[in-house]
């Protein structure tokens, strides 16, 4: 029987928590950015587009270091957060969630944007002629039609968050019970003598979690597709 | 009641239209690219005129001068799009009630059960658009627009994607709507068949301009527009009144300014008005009153003019008691008969088509099968 050690349970729980919060927290902003990029034209759009996609091409360590500088206790934003709201991000699981969210963000936005661009604008016009204002049209017509894209974006973001390592370890370090997610626990085990077997177990857990997530996504996507196609 | 005067430039295309549309069905007819769809998009608020004014039932929807531009969701117009545009993520019922449920109950002038009943879509309510046939989709799209209790129903070639059979099936539904729900309809079409079967008023459009408008029969009869309105296909279009029925022989006598016409028995009361269509190829000419002939519809006429048509055919314009008829004969027949303008002749009508029944209160209508006289 494959039973998990307390260390593994803790790492798994943290990974799921951090990824879940990262995805759920960044989804509304992701939808907004995708919508702006898909539907609006404004000066500097290329710049915004580039900025959103930057984490995709930067080494995660760079992102992590940037977050540490800006959001750390002494950083310009981090010190304000601490003074005004008493929130500390550095070296906490919340910081880990932010690091994951930033890294996963471009993948999420990309998926939603592609889906938004393929929505038939005629259907939105039809909703308008039927008495629906723009906001209501967005929630009753556009959003349901992009649900496959939302699903893909969420799963991609979640999977990317699960595997997040570089930005996380740079920003929030490796603190047992707080920021030691699966990849970080795995890395730590490879650094100590005799940790090979435990590292292998973590590998298996990681693969299983990722696989289950993908499978669930596939099943959900099929359901959504059949609903949309009738 | 729609009253509009708009101008808009789209690239090289200039739209400049002044138009009034009253009750009943007004057809916007013209070749593709003449600006028909652009025009109703402006009425619906989906595109903006550069200049002008759009008024529906005394409510200003758009006025460039005062900066009024009511957004589409507040215009209360129904729009039936060419491609249907049903929401794929909603059931038929969800589609139908989409606009309806956004209307406060006391403002609903159209009832759900009535629309479902008239359009015959009760059995489809649980289905999704992807599982519907073309004709079913069109009906649901019409129902959805109707249920928003619109002041005017805008229809952009709602039948364009259907085959002739489905089309003939749906035309009566549409004629019904205008009278049953007392909603004026602005109907975009480029098929003369549809226009003759549906419309009360015809607006001809070309290159972004209205070139003629008025009652269907009058506009179609205008000689200066004959190429445009496709008279060769339509022939003469005229109004007639039901005089009496002869049940022994199954015929109905129709009266018009040029005399009496016999057609297969119509299911209409005496005094009802019908629209007839007499194709030019169904009209033969004789110089003497023919005797011992199976054709029952023979009318005395005066030749008004002759104009050569393609393939050695001649179009002969005839005056029949003030009504214009057209006859197409071969140039061989023409030289044999020696027809000249002013000559008296007899028109032999091989077929008379009822384009639209009962125009007065448009209760029952549609393209009936050809009502052939007893030959």
On whether residue B83 sits in a domain, the answer given is: yes
For residue B141, the chain A residue with the least C-alpha distance is A126
Q: Residue B193's domain is classified under what CATH number?
A: 3.40.50.300
Question: Residues B38-48: pLDDT tens digits?
Answer: 999 999 999 99
User: Would residue B372 count as lying in a domain?
Assistant: no
Residues B66 and B189 both lie in one domain: yes
At residue A57, the 3 state secondary structure works out as helix
Q: Rounded to an integer, what distance in angstroms lies between the CA atom of residue B11 and that of residue B8?
A: 10
> How does pLDDT run across B110-143, given as a tens digit for each residue?
889 888 988 889 999 999 998 898 889 999 999 9
- B283 found inside a domain: yes
Q: Does B145 touch chain A (CB under 8 A)?
A: yes
Domains present along chain A, CATH in parentheses: 6-229 (1.10.3720.10)
Average pLDDT over chain A, rounded to an integer: 90
For tokens 């119509």, the residue is B266
Instruction: Give ipTM to 2 decimals.
Output: 0.81
Residues B177 and B224 in one domain: yes
Residue B45 backbone class (left: φ over 0; alpha: ψ -120 to 50; beta: rest): left
Q: Is residue B82 part of a domain?
A: yes
pLDDT for the residue numbered B310: 76
DSSP B148-182: T--SSEEEESTTTTS-HHHHHHHHHHHHHHHHHS-
CB–CB of B87 and A123 under 8 A? Answer: yes
Flag whether residue B44 sits within 8 Å of chain A, measured between CB atoms: yes
Looking at B228, B245, B276, the residue that finishes a domain is: B228
Q: With CB atoms and an 8 Å threshold, state whether A127 touches B102.
A: no
Closest to B89 (Cβ–Cβ): which among A126, A129, A145? A145
> Which string of b and e fits B23-54 if b means at least 16 CB within 10 Å?
ebbbbbbbeeebbbbbbbbbbbbbbebeebbb
From B228, B255, B275, the end of a domain falls on B228
- Residue of B85, B138, B152 best to disrupt the A interface, most CBs of A under 10 A: B85
Chain B residues within an 8 Å CB radius of A145: 88-89
Same domain, B147 and B21: yes
**CB spacing of A227 vs B89 below 8 angstroms:** yes
The domain that holds B277 is classified in CATH as 2.40.50.100
Contact A128 B73 (CB under 8 A): yes
**Chain A residue with minimum CA distance to B129:** A230
Q: List CB contacts (< 8 A) between B79 and chain A.
A: 126, 129
pLDDT by residue, tens only, chain B of 375 residues: 899 999 999 888 999 999 988 888 999 998 888 899 999 999 999 999 999 999 999 899 999 999 999 999 999 999 999 888 999 999 999 999 999 888 888 888 888 988 898 888 999 999 999 889 888 999 999 999 999 989 999 999 988 878 887 787 788 788 878 878 888 999 998 888 788 888 889 999 988 999 888 888 888 877 667 666 554 555 788 888 899 898 898 889 999 888 889 888 888 888 888 888 888 888 999 998 888 888 889 999 999 988 887 788 888 889 998 888 888 889 999 889 889 999 999 999 987 877 776 564 433 333 333 333 333
Look-up of token digits 């699966």: A182
Q: Quick one: which of A123, A125, A75 has its CA closest to A98?
A: A75
- Give the minimum alpha-carbon distance from B162 to chain A in angstroms, rounded to a whole number: 20
Tell me which residue in A125, A132, A228 faces B102 most closely, judged by beta carbons.
A132
Is there a single domain that holds both residue B62 and residue B144?
A: yes
Pairing verdict, β B25-29 and B185-189: parallel
A-contacting residues of B 88-117, CB under 8 Å? 88-89, 98-99, 102-103
Residues of chain B with C-beta less than 8 angstroms from the C-beta of A128: 45-46, 71-73
Q: Is the dihedral of CA B9, B14, B18, B19 positive or negative?
A: negative
| CA of A140 vs chain B CAs: smallest distance (Å) | 10
When divided into structural domains, chain B yields a total of: 2
Consecutive H or E run containing B332: helix B331-337
- B157 and B61: one domain? yes
Tell which B residues from 148 to 167 touch A, by Cβ distance under 8 Å: 148
| Interface size, chain A vs chain B, as Cβ–Cβ contacts under 8 Å | 73
Nearest chain B alpha carbon to A120: B85
Closest-CA distance, B109 to chain A, in angstroms, reads 15
User: CB-based burial of residue B308 (10 Å sphere; 0-12 exposed, 13-18 middle, 19+ buried)?
Assistant: exposed
Residues B23 and B166 in one domain: yes
Interface of A with B (CB under 8 A): 120, 122-123, 125-133, 140-141, 144-145, 147, 227-230
Instruction: Judge if B164 and B220 occupy the same domain.
Output: yes
Question: Which chain B residues are closer than 8 Å to A229 by Cβ?
Answer: 88, 128, 130
Q: Give the nearest chain B residue to A146 (CA atoms).
A: B89
Q: Which residues of A touch B127 (CB under 8 A)?
A: 230
Q: Does any domain span residue B362?
A: no
Shortest CB distance from B99 goes to which of A125, A130, A229? A130
Cα gap A149→B194, rounded to integer Å: 42
Say yes or no: B133 contacts chain A, CB-CB below 8 A: no
How many of the other CB atoms lie within 10 Å of CB of B226? 17
Same domain, B215 and B247: no
Task: Note the pLDDT of residue B79.
Answer: 95
Best A122, A128, A131 residue to mutate vs chain B (most B CBs within 10 Å): A131
Residues in chain A: 230
Examine residue B373 and state whether it is found in any structural domain, yes or no: no
Contact B264, B372 (CB under 8 A): yes
Same domain, B223 and B257: no
Residues B38 and B140 in one domain: yes
Nearest CA in chain A to B130: A230
- Looking at the structure, tell me whether residues B156 and B176 fall in a common domain: yes
Domain end position, chosen among B228, B253, B282: B228
What integer pLDDT is reported at residue B229 of this predicted model? 57
CB-based contact B73 A130, cutoff 8 Å: yes
> How does DSSP classify residue B280?
G
The residue among B37, B143, B42, B28 whose CA lies nearest residue B84 is B143
Residues in chain B, total: 375
Specify if B299 maps to a domain.
Answer: yes
Contact A122 B89 (CB under 8 A): no
Residue B371 located in a structural domain: no
SS (H, E, C) chain B: CEEEEEEEEECCEEEEEEEEECCCEEEEECCCCCCHHHHHHHHHCCCCCCEEEEEECCEEEEECCCCEECCHHHCCCEEECCCCCCCCCCCHHHHHHHHHCCCCHHHCCCCHHHHHHHHCCHHHCCCCHHHCCHHHHHHHHHHHHHCCCCCCEEEECCCCCCCHHHHHHHHHHHHHHHHHCCCCEEEEECCHHHHHHHCCEEEEEECCEEEEEEEHHHHHHCHHHCCCCCHHHHCEEEEEEEEEEECCCCEEEEEECCEEEEEECCCCCCCCEEEEEECHHHEEEECCCCCCCCCCCEEEEEEEEEEECCCCEEEEEEEECCEEEEEEEEHHHHHHHCCCCCCEEEEEECCEEEEECCCCCCCCCCCCCCECCCC
Provide the pLDDT for residue B92: 95
**Tokens representing A173?**
């370090």
pLDDT number for residue B9: 92
Q: Which residue of B has its CA nearest to A148?
A: B89
Cross-chain Cβ contact A129/B72 below 8 Å: yes
Task: Give the tens place of pLDDT for each residue, A104-157.
Answer: 999 999 999 999 999 999 999 999 999 999 999 999 999 999 988 898 899 889
In angstroms, the separation between the Cα of residue B78 and the nearest Cα of chain A is 7
CA B297 → CA A119, A191, B282, distances in Å? 58, 106, 11
Structural domain harbouring B114? 2-228
Q: Does residue B170 sit in the same domain as residue B262? A: no
User: Which residues on chain A are in Cβ contact (under 8 Å) with B71?
Assistant: 128, 133
């Amino acid at each position: 029987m494959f039973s998990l050690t307390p260390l593994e349970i803790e790492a798994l729980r943290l990974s799921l928590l951090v990824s879940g919060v990262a995805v759920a927290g960044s989804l509304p902003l992701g939808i907004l950015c995708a919508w702006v990029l898909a539907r609006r034209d404004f000066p500097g759009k290329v710049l915004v587009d580039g900025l959103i996609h930057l984490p995709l091409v930067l080494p995660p360590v760079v992102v992590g270091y940037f977050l540490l500088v800006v959001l750390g206790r002494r950083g310009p934003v981090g010190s304000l957060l601490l003074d005004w709201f008493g929130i500390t991000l550095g070296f906490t699981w919340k910081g880990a969630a932010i690091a994951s969210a930033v890294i996963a963000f471009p993948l999420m936005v990309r998926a939603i944007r592609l889906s938004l661009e393929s929505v038939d604008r005629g259907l939105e016009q039809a909703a308008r002629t039927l008495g629906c204002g723009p906001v209501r049209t967005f929630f009753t017509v556009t959003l349901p039609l992009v649900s496959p894209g939302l699903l893909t974006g969420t799963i991609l973001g979640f999977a990317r968050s699960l595997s997040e390592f570089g930005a996380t370890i740079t920003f929030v370090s490796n603190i047992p019970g707080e920021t030691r997610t699966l990849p970080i626990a795995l890395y730590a085990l490879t650094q100590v003598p005799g940790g090979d077997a435990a590292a292998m177990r973590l590998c298996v857990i990681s693969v299983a979690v990722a696989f289950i997530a993908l499978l669930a996504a596939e099943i959900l996507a099929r359901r959504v597709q059949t609903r949309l196609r009738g | 009641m729609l009253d509009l005067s708009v101008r808009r430039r789209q690239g090289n295309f200039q739209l400049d239209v002044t138009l009034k549309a009253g009750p009943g069905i007004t057809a916007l007819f013209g070749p593709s690219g003449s600006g028909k769809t652009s025009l109703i998009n402006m009425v619906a608020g989906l595109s903006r005129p550069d200049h002008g004014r759009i008024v529906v039932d005394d409510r200003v929807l758009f006025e460039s001068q005062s900066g009024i531009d009511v957004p589409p969701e507040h215009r209360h117009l129904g729009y039936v799009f060419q491609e249907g545009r049903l929401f794929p993520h909603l059931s038929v019922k969800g589609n139908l009630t989409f606009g309806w449920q956004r209307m406060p109950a006391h403002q609903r002038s159209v009832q759900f059960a009535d629309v479902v009943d008239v359009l015959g879509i009760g059995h489809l309510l649980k289905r999704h658009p992807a599982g519907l046939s073309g004709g079913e989709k069109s009906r649901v799209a019409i129902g959805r627009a109707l249920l928003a209790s619109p002041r005017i129903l805008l229809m952009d070639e709602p039948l364009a994607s259907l085959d002739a059979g489905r089309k003939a099936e749906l035309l009566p539904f549409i004629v019904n709507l205008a009278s049953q729900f007392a909603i004026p309809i602005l109907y975009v079409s480029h098929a003369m068949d549809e226009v003759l079967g549906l419309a009360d008023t015809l607006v001809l459009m070309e290159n972004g301009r209205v070139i003629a408008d008025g009652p269907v029969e009058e506009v179609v009869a205008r000689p200066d527009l004959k190429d445009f309105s496709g008279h060769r296909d339509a022939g003469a279009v005229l109004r007639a009144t039901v005089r009496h029925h002869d049940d022994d022989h199954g015929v109905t006598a129709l009266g018009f300014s040029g005399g009496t016409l016999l057609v297969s028995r119509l299911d209409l009361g005496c005094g009802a008005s019908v629209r007839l269509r007499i194709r030019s190829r169904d009209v033969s000419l004789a110089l003497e009153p023919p005797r011992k002939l199976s054709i029952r519809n023979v009318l005395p006429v005066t030749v008004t003019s002759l104009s050569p048509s393609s393939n050695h055919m001649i179009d002969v314009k005839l005056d029949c008691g003030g009504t214009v008829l057209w006859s197409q004969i071969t140039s061989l027949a023409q030289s044999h008969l020696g027809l000249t303008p002013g000559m008296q002749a007899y028109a032999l009508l091989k077929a008379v088509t009822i384009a639209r029944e009962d125009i007065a209160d448009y209760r029952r209508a549609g393209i009936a099968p050809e009502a052939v006289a007893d030959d």
